[in-house]
Amino acid sequence: MAPSTKTVLIPIAHGTEPLEAVAMITTLRRGGADVTVASVETQVGVDACHGIKMVADTLLSDITDSIFDLIVLPGGLPGGETLKNCKPLENMVKKQDTDGRLNAAICCAPALALGTWGLLQGKKATGYPVFMEKLASTCATAVESRVQIDGRIVTSRGPGTTIEFSITLVEQLCGKEKADEVSSILLVRPNPGEEYTFTELNKTEWLFEDTPQILVPIAEDSEETEAIALVDILRRAKANVVIAAIGNSLEVVGSCEAKLVADVLLDEVAEKSFDLIVLPGGNGAQRFASCEKLVNMLNKQAEANKPYGGICKSPVYVFEHNGLLKGKKATTHPRVSNELSDQSHIDHRVVVDGNVITSRAPGTAMEFSLAIVEKFYGREKALQLVKATLV
């Protein structure tokens, strides 16, 4: 590790909000930070919210004497309560504060952890809306900013503000130039907090019986934030989402070395029918493209006029290269957009053309997921999730 590399600790627990944790891990690693994900439980595997499993790099109990440039706490319940009650973590965060190093927290964690530990007295701080009263009771000045910096403490509100929060942390650690570089790669929303939109052509009703059955494949080098955003948002909408791993292991290491855990292997569901098959991106898209079973499933989906979608590099590597975008408008990541045969919509953040939905990057993943919710359930349901996640 280079002497100038900044070190970051992200503790996780059962009931941690996975989208917050994963977006922080991946964004900070893109910024060049050496990020350690530490479980405060007795094992490295944790059951995060929405049925999503995460695997930490280490146990917190093994690194309590380590020093970090930044400690950042994700939210989620009961994970936030568990972090608050973890005495070794409390001691580390308090020492961090005493030594003048950065602490940060999002969602319920500013109120439950930093506030309870007495670190927000006289500080401006923000958090998840239902915790604002609790935040004020800790002698903090509760503000409704999406991201709030006060001295060496940075706070934020919820899943939909996590990338902005993480970019701010990159800037605090590594400077504005690096933060702007990461922001441009992620395609961060230019208007955070404004109502999401998407481009739709050849409007088609997406049908399902009882509950949408949705398949989200993952592979080595899949983009973690895109994958988890899809699963998190669609499960919040009460869709039945199956995470299926390409290969022989349920545990997959993503493009930013976050560890993801599938529900099943793709082989186990290759003969099943789904209302939607939707692919995250990253370099894992090339693994999708070389997976004959997945490509066959997508071809059958297209032949049956059933929805399929992809984000980032997947529209090019999987759809374009297999003839699944014929006659369709689509978007993709800027780095590969020159490989689309029809480039008329490459600057659009989310494009729906009939039964095909495509999007661009981690920074568009929430809009992409919400557009899917809208197609299945209607805009009112999607806007309820916007409010719940603070997109």
174 is catalytic: no
SS3 assignment, position 213: strand
Q: Return the amino acid letter for 369.
A: S
Both structure tokens of 35? 């990020």
CA atoms of 233 and 258, how far apart (whole Å): 19
The single residue of 49, 107, 108, 312 carrying the catalytic annotation is 107
Both structure tokens of 55? 């695997």
SS3 assignment, position 199: strand
CA atoms of 355 and 349, how far apart (whole Å): 17
- 305-335 as b/e: b if 16+ CB within 10 A: ebbbbbbbbbbbbbbbebebbeebbbbbbee
Per-residue DSSP letters for 35-104?
EEEEESSSSSEEE-GGG-EEE-SEEGGG-TT---SEEEE---TTHHHHHHT-HHHHHHHHHHHHTT-EEE
CA atoms of 348 and 359, how far apart (whole Å): 8
Question: Which one, of 249, 259, 264, lies nearest residue 21 by Cα?
Answer: 259
| Catalytic annotation, residues | 107
